[in-house]
Amino acid sequence: MRTGWGPLRKIVAKSDVFMMTRIINGYSQRELAKRSGLSHAYISMLERSIKPVGPATAKKLSDLLGKPVEELFMITLE
């Protein structure tokens, strides 16, 4: 547990919105991974909200999917 800095914040995908946006844009997980420079396994974990994402990666994915960051991701407190 961290002290002095407050709760740890993580950026996680809004699973349903992220997955539907990817599908609507015509990307498979593998295609989105290839275009974003991320691994297929990482995209899969993002869609299941298992893996957090950094701010730069969240921005890159939101740009590729054509949606604002706040529509695809949320900040959680740990």
Rounded Cα gap, residues 12 and 55, in angstroms = 10
Place of tokens 């396994």: 41
Domain boundaries, the chain: 11-77
| CATH number for the domain formed by residue range(s) 11-77 | 1.10.260.40
Six-digit token string for 57:
């990666």
Contacts of 28-33 with CB under 8 Å at 24 or more apart are 32/61, 32/64, 32/65
Rounded Cα gap, residues 10 and 41, in angstroms = 19
pTM score of the predicted model: 0.85
The tens place of each residue's pLDDT in the chain, 78 residues long, gives 445 566 678 999 999 999 999 999 999 999 999 999 999 999 999 999 889 999 999 999 999 999 999 999 998 886
DSSP symbol at 53: B
Place of tokens 């890159």: 60
